[in-house]
Amino acid sequence: MSSVMKTNSPSIADPLMIDGIAYQSRLLVGTGKYKDMEETRLAVEASGAEIITVAIRRTNIGQTRDEPNLLETLPPDRYTYLPNTAGCYSAEDAVRTCRLARELLDGHNLVKLEVLGDEKTLFPDITQTLTAAETLIADGFKVMVYTNDDPIVAKRLEEMGCVAVMPLAAPIGSGLGIRNPYNIRTIVENAEVPILVDAGVGCASDSAIAMELGCDGVLMNTAIAGAKDPILMASAMKKAIEAGRESFLAGRIPRKRFASASSPVDGTFF
Residues with catalytic function: 112
In this chain, which stretch among 31-39, 158-166, 179-187, 203-211 interacts with another protein, using CB under 8 A?
31-39
Site for another protein in 72-111 (CB under 8 A): 81, 83-84, 86, 96, 99-101, 103-105
CB of 221 to another protein, least distance (A): 3
CA distance 75 to 73: 6
Based on CB atoms, which residue is closest to another protein, 22 or 57? 57
CB of 100 to another protein, least distance (A): 5
In this chain, which stretch among 27-35, 148-156, 231-239, 243-251 interacts with another protein, using CB under 8 A?
27-35
Sign of CA dihedral 17, 14, 52, 168: positive
Residue type at 110 in one-letter notation: L
In sequence order, the β-bridge partners of residue 147 are 167
Burial of 197 (0-12, 13-18, 19+ CB in 10 A): buried
The reply to whether 41 sits near another protein by the rule CB under 8 A is no
Does residue 224 contact residue 234 with C-beta atoms inside 8 Å? yes
Instruction: State which of residues 54, 157, 201, 204 lies at the interface with another protein (CB under 8 A).
Output: 54
CA distance 102 to 235: 31
The reply to whether 27 sits near another protein by the rule CB under 8 A is no
Does residue 235 contact residue 27 with C-beta atoms inside 8 Å? no
The reply to whether 71 sits near another protein by the rule CB under 8 A is yes
The reply to whether 171 sits near another protein by the rule CB under 8 A is no
What is the helix (H) or strand (E) element at residue 184, kind and residue range?
helix 181-190
* Among candidate residues 219, 213, 209, 216, the one with its CA nearest the CA of residue 240: 209
How many residues at the interface with another protein, by CB under 8 A? 36
User: What mask of x and - would describe binding to another protein in positions 202 to 221, judged by CB under 8 A?
Assistant: ------------------xx
CA distance 232 to 74: 19
Based on CB atoms, which residue is closest to another protein, 6 or 58? 58
Q: Which residues bind another protein (CB under 8 A)?
A: 30-34, 37, 40, 53-59, 61-62, 69-71, 81, 83-84, 86, 96, 99-101, 103-105, 172-173, 220-222, 225
